[in-house]
A and B are shown apart, each in its own frame.
Chain A
Amino acid sequence: MMIKAAAALSLLSLASAFIVPAHLPAVAPAVAQPRSVLQSTSDGQNLRPDVAEQLELYAAEAQKRIDSMVKENKVMLFMKGNKMFPQCGFSNTAVQVLRASDVKFETFDVLSDPDIRQGIKEYSQWPTIPQLYVGGEFVGGSDILIELFQNGELKTTLESGGAEFVA
């Protein structure tokens, strides 16, 4: 009986570590907060500061990885799925447009990495996937690719971005 009560008590205190007290003021008080006090992240989640810090590190690391992919590959497509098996109609459209342009391109499957999936939207300040980068510059999503392909500007963009074409 004692053991059960103790277990319940420790469960209770564990659970309470993940709940923000309702009386917490919206504005941080001037006094230093103890480490157990929870803070709100930008997307409204309440996380323990050390966990939030860890998440920020992952996010920063994702930005670095995106930046090197974009800079190391002249034509870089972030998509859902891969060239052989696109997992979304819009990503498929982007692949088809690039294939029709006879250009060599690399892809990254954002479904394989949640940090990149979220991070790429912040990197370009663009809310959707697919996203095409040419010569390190963000070009656009699938609607833009289609329109640039149809009016001939995509070829110019690819050429000036240093893209390699399929012989």
Chain B
Amino acid sequence: MQAAIEAKLTSALAPTHLEVTCSDGNKWAVTVISEAFQGKPLLARHRLVNTALAEELEDIHALSLKTKTPAEWEKS
């Protein structure tokens, strides 16, 4: 599952940084840093990730998301 999530996000959003972790069996936390998020509100960013992972989300119990642009990531 981890490999599938990473592959889907990499091809969909060309992230400069990507972290995919799983806890508690099936609770996933994903951090995506991508230029694709530039100028997009939070809801739109999360929708992009949800769309990329539509197939995986059917089997995932919980998904926690952090979506930032490289510039925002530098600052945090």
Asked whether, in the complex, the Cβ of A139 is within 8 Å of the Cβ of B46, the reply is no
Residues of A within 8 A of B57 (CB): 127-128
Residues of A within 8 A of B50 (CB): 126-127
Q: How many residue pairs bridge A and B at CB < 8 Å?
A: 25
State A96–B42 Cα separation when bound (angstroms): 20
| CB of B63 within 8 Å of the partner chain | yes
| CB of B62 within 8 Å of the partner chain | yes
| CB of A148 within 8 Å of the partner chain | yes
Residues of B within 8 A of A140 (CB): 42-43, 46
State how many residues of chain A have any CB contact under 8 Å with chain B. Answer: 13
Residues of A within 8 A of B66 (CB): 143
Encoded as 1 (CB less than 8 Å from any A CB) or 0, chain B from 11 to 43 comes to 000000000000000000000000000000011
Encoded as 1 (CB less than 8 Å from any B CB) or 0, chain A from 122 to 142 comes to 000111100000000011110
> Closest Cβ of chain A: how far from B46's Cβ, in Å?
6
Asked whether, in the complex, the Cβ of B42 is within 8 Å of the Cβ of A148, the reply is yes
Contact A139 B43, CB 8 Å, known A126-B50, A127-B50: yes
Contact A141 B42, CB 8 Å, known A127-B57, A128-B63: no
Residues of B within 8 A of A128 (CB): 57, 62-63
Asked whether, in the complex, the Cβ of A90 is within 8 Å of the Cβ of B42, the reply is no
State A13–B75 Cα separation when bound (angstroms): 68
| CB of B48 within 8 Å of the partner chain | no
State A147–B65 Cα separation when bound (angstroms): 11
Asked whether, in the complex, the Cβ of B63 is within 8 Å of the Cβ of A147, the reply is no
Nearest B-chain residue to A145, judged by Cβ: B42
Interface residues of B (CB under 8 A from A): 42-43, 46-47, 50, 54, 57, 62-66
Q: Please name 16 further chain A to chain B contacts, defined as beta carbons within 8 Å, in addition to the given A128-B62, A138-B43, A143-B64, sorted by A numbering.
A: A90-B62, A125-B47, A126-B47, A126-B50, A127-B50, A128-B57, A128-B63, A140-B43, A140-B46, A141-B46, A143-B46, A143-B65, A144-B42, A144-B43, A147-B42, A148-B42
